[in-house]
Amino acid sequence: MKLTILKALTICLLLITGSAFAQKLTKTENQILRTVSANNSEAIAYLKQVVNINSGTMNPKGVKEVGMVFKSAYDDIAFQTSWIDMTKVNRAGHLFAEINGDKGKKLLLIGHLDTVFEADSPFQEFTMVNDSIAHAPGGNDMKGGNVIILYALKALSDNGLLGNAQIIVAYTGDEESTGKPLTVSRKDLIEAAKRSDIALGFETSTGFNYATIARRGASGWKVEVAGKRAHSSGIFNDKNGAGAVFELARILNEFYNNVRGEEYLTFNPGVILGGTKISFEEALSTGNAFGKSNVIAQTAVVDGGLRFISEGQKERAREKMRAIVSNNLPHTSAEISFIDSYPAMGPTEGNNNLLELLNQVSLDLDQGGVEAYDPGKRGAADVSFVAQYVDCLDGLGTMGSGAHTPQETVNLNTIEALTKRTAILIYRLINQ
Ligand SMILES: [Zn+2]
């Protein structure tokens, strides 16, 4: 409901802006654009360099190596850099780079060093498909976005325009598979947000004309069912009841019929086991089941995921699920448990105002207007962890296709334009 109103508001704002006299680029802004253009081939070579270092989340050495390449680039433009070790949560660590000041908006710029392609993946190398498209593991998700942040800041630095601004660049090393507990692995990111006004996320772009002002959150859920083991000839009678498998089937069917329905709410049972004896290895999402057609099932389990647009929606869904799970068939019992993973990033007014600023920048650059992307089509990301502390905009990274698959590509032709847009957006924010 709230979203629908905000969507309408966005469209109104876009219409008003579209018809208003467009803000001209200043002399300084034109100088920033020239610097971005001059550095563009260097930016692409840099992207190739970092793509060719494997940084699968579970390859800590590689993640840190990519972090060190970025570290020296940020050292060169006089950012204070630090490597935050995350060995204690079995991950490589995060690279943070920052400058301190009190001019304009305080910014947090978010990227991640890791990719889904581990050291044993056959997909390791940056190769050109044609003049503009590179086939590159993590090139789009999201080493391209990391490079956009760096070269936008470099253009501002080269022109002496970062003086007295406060900017924190946070490149996490475990976005694709976060270290647990999150209170450890996301502590530094959240603390950086608390010192900032605005967070910009550089996850893959969904096109020049869209940015992300809302992302759905994610949670895990698991239902464990117990039934009475007995000869199957007695199933349904007063003594033996329905068995664990029927009970779990009832629960899932009622989830489907009675929890489903709200916009942006989805839930998916990913793996199910049932029978006389089961073993479920949660960490590996795998297991074994043993049962016989002439024995009433004694145990069953299902493990699933849940996506939601707000904490309220998450809680409503959980309440309905709990009620269904407690309404057991004869001689069965069931329990549901939930695990929080990503919070939701709601479509707030502050996020919308940021979108409006980006829209103006984009119009001034003749790159067309920018609208809010459908949050139902995006997964969760690091920006979600800071959404409750700062205004957020995400999806400012590179364009490409096939993220998380061996077909991943990045469109190199869009990097210059996107870096220009980012540089002007940052420039205007730190001068606000
Ligand atoms: Zn990503």
Residue pair 54/117 in contact (Cβ under 8 Å)? The answer is: yes
Longest distance between any two alpha carbons in the chain, whole Å = 86
Residues in contact with 21: Cβ distance below 8 Å, sequence separation at least 6, in sequence order: none
Interval between CA 325 and ligand 1 midpoint (Å): 35
Q: Are strands 165-172 and 277-281 parallel, antiparallel or unpaired?
A: unpaired
Type of residue numbered 234: G
Interval between CA 145 and ligand 1 midpoint (Å): 9
Interval between CA 143 and ligand 1 midpoint (Å): 9
- Residues 26-55 have pLDDT tens digits of 999 999 999 999 999 999 999 999 999 999
d(CA 382, CA 188): 12
Interval between CA 115 and ligand 1 midpoint (Å): 7
Tokens 């992302």 correspond to 215
Interval between CA 156 and ligand 1 midpoint (Å): 25
Residue pair 167/156 in contact (Cβ under 8 Å)? The answer is: no
Interval between CA 203 and ligand 1 midpoint (Å): 5
Interval between CA 288 and ligand 1 midpoint (Å): 33
Interval between CA 229 and ligand 1 midpoint (Å): 46
Interval between CA 141 and ligand 1 midpoint (Å): 5
Interval between CA 112 and ligand 1 midpoint (Å): 7
Element (H, E) at 146: helix 144-158
Q: What are the CA-CA distances from residue 125 to residues 18, 51, 117, 164 (Å)?
A: 43, 7, 11, 39
Residue 17's pLDDT is: 45
d(CA 93, CA 71): 13
Residues in contact with 213: Cβ distance below 8 Å, sequence separation at least 6, in sequence order: 10, 347, 348, 351, 352, 354, 355, 372, 373, 375, 392, 393, 394
d(CA 208, CA 396): 9
Q: Which residues of the chain have pLDDT under 70?
A: 1-23
Question: How many C-beta atoms surround the C-beta of residue 360 within 10 A?
Answer: 19
Interval between CA 186 and ligand 1 midpoint (Å): 15
Interval between CA 137 and ligand 1 midpoint (Å): 12
Angle of the 60-76 helix axis to the 144-158 helix axis, nearest 10: 20
Tokens 């210059």 correspond to 416
Interval between CA 93 and ligand 1 midpoint (Å): 16
* Token couple for 119: 């050291």
Interval between CA 68 and ligand 1 midpoint (Å): 19
Interval between CA 176 and ligand 1 midpoint (Å): 7
Interval between CA 236 and ligand 1 midpoint (Å): 50
d(CA 402, CA 203): 14
Separation of CA 238 from chain center: 50
Interval between CA 13 and ligand 1 midpoint (Å): 29
Interval between CA 175 and ligand 1 midpoint (Å): 7
Q: Are strands 165-172 and 103-112 parallel, antiparallel or unpaired?
A: parallel
Residue 283's pLDDT is: 79
